[in-house]
Structure 1
Amino acid sequence: MELTTPHHHGPIALRLVRPRDARTLQNELVTNRAWLQPWEATNPDGAVSFDMRLGIKRLLQQYRDGAGAPFVMEYNGEIAGQLNVWGIARGSLSSATIGYWVSQRFAGKGITPTAVAMATDIAFTELHLHRMEICIRPENHASLRVVEKLGFRYEGLRRGFIHIHGDWRDHYAFALVREDVPEGVLQRWVQGRAPQDAAAIPPADRLHA
């Protein structure tokens, strides 16, 4: 699959990651360690060393294999974080999941919802997927605001779903299918037509998370 990136909306851009992004991304991760660590996936078998150059190489191989689409988010031409469309399944499932991180100094600029909207539109129109999912920890209020803004539909509580920051963490699952957004996720949001209650979490799930 070949993606026609970058995609732009105002000062925000989404493009495929490049090998030469490694140093910048590594610096951002180190600088933002305290900001990002509570939300980072971890290995239940113990800590492992991470090489950003190798990580990008693997992500780009997954892209060539059709298993993922690794992006960087930019703000006024400066790298602000990463967004990965991962776990791409074809055939009767035709779905994927979005994960992302953004540097603290870029928080509050609308980068994440804009990038998530653009990535979902890319998945539906260029990758020809049918369903996009985002799973979010109950404590991650900033990410919950992203799905609320974009009108992702709440689909349930997943117990011990991902190993994050040293333990198995519960997640809320949200999703959109292509038929939900014929005009595109970004256009629907920009035009103020995203349903405001789609991401509402039932009280019972809030109590048990």
Structure 2
Amino acid sequence: MDAASGVRHGPVEIRLVRPRDARVLQQELLTNRSWLQPWEATVPYGSVSFDMRVSIRRLLQQHREGAGYPFVMEYDGQVAGQLNVWGVSRGSLCSATIGYWVSERFAGRNITPTSVALATDACFVEYGLHRMEICIRPENAASLRVVQKLGFRYEGLRRRYIHIDGDWRDHYAFALTKEDVPQGVLARWLNGQVPARAADIPPADRLTI
């Protein structure tokens, strides 16, 4: 996959973010404040800039350095959100983490699971990564449905793991390795071959929330 030109399945496409995306992305973030704020990363003892031009420059610099793959998610040619592959580790790990947001008006159209599947397949096949992780707040039912649909394996509870919406928040960790999906994440999902209970959270972890 050429990150700049993108890859698509049906009406859903992911492509490398561009500087000219700044205006529409910033508008979507501002319009969706109440929808997105509970899940947005924040900075302890500091503030997060909402200047999308600055954010895109930083993301593209990380991409040039091989530290991330910042994508825009589109639906029928319209910008629907962002998906970032970040924290790329090479060497003995060959791993990364996926984060994303989608506008409320595009929710419920399978944009996020399709985009996560496309990005994970690209990371395994094109970018030489071996393990992909998604960390989700226990309260985020919509994101939990994404890993359930795609069969990301539950790997544990991380206490006070990421600073979200003004405080350190617990997260569930889910992951896939390349060996888990020899046919690809998207193909496994579309073919109905996702393990039924891979993303199930054990009662012991549910009770601690």
Taking structure 2 as the reference length, the TM-score comes to: 0.98
The 8 Å contact of residues 162 and 168 in structure 1, kept in 2 or not, is answered as yes
Instruction: Report the AA paired with residue 43 of structure 1.
Output: V
Q: Distance in 2 between matches of 1:117 and 1:47?
A: 32
Tell me the matched-pair count. 209
Structure 2 partner of 1:83? 83
Summarize the alignment of residues 12-51 of structure 1 with structure 2, pairs less than 5 Å apart: 12-51=12-51
Q: Does 1:134 align with 2:134?
A: yes
Runs of 5+ unmatched residues, structure 2: none
Q: Distance in 2 between matches of 1:49 and 1:71?
A: 19
Q: Distance in 2 between matches of 1:22 and 1:4?
A: 16
Structure 2 partner of 1:59? 59
The 8 Å contact of residues 156 and 172 in structure 1, kept in 2 or not, is answered as yes
What secondary structure is seen at the aligned counterpart in 1 of 2:85?
Answer: strand
Bigger drift between 173-182 and 41-50 goes to: 41-50
Q: Distance in 2 between matches of 1:130 and 1:3?
A: 18
Q: CA shift at 1:50, angstroms?
A: 2.8
Query: Which string of whole-angstrom CA distances, capped at 9 and with x for unpartnered residues, describes residues 90-146 of structure 1?
Result: 010100000000000000000000000000001001111000000000000000000
Structure 2 partner of 1:186? 186
Q: Distance in 1 between matches of 2:89 and 2:124?
A: 13
Summarize the alignment of residues 66-145 of structure 1 with structure 2, pairs less than 5 Å apart: 66-145=66-145
Taking structure 1 as the reference length, the TM-score comes to: 0.98
Query: Which string of whole-angstrom CA distances, capped at 9 and with x for unpartnered residues, describes residues 52-84 of structure 1?
Result: 001101100100000000000000000000000
In percent, how many aligned pairs have the same letter?
A: 73
The 8 Å contact of residues 14 and 72 in structure 1, kept in 2 or not, is answered as yes
Structure 2 partner of 1:177? 177
Instruction: Report the AA paired with residue 193 of structure 1.
Output: Q
Q: CA shift at 1:3, angstroms?
A: 3.3
The 8 Å contact of residues 4 and 16 in structure 2, kept in 1 or not, is answered as no
Runs of 5+ unmatched residues, structure 1: none
The 8 Å contact of residues 26 and 50 in structure 2, kept in 1 or not, is answered as no
Q: CA shift at 1:46, angstroms?
A: 2.7
The 8 Å contact of residues 155 and 173 in structure 1, kept in 2 or not, is answered as yes
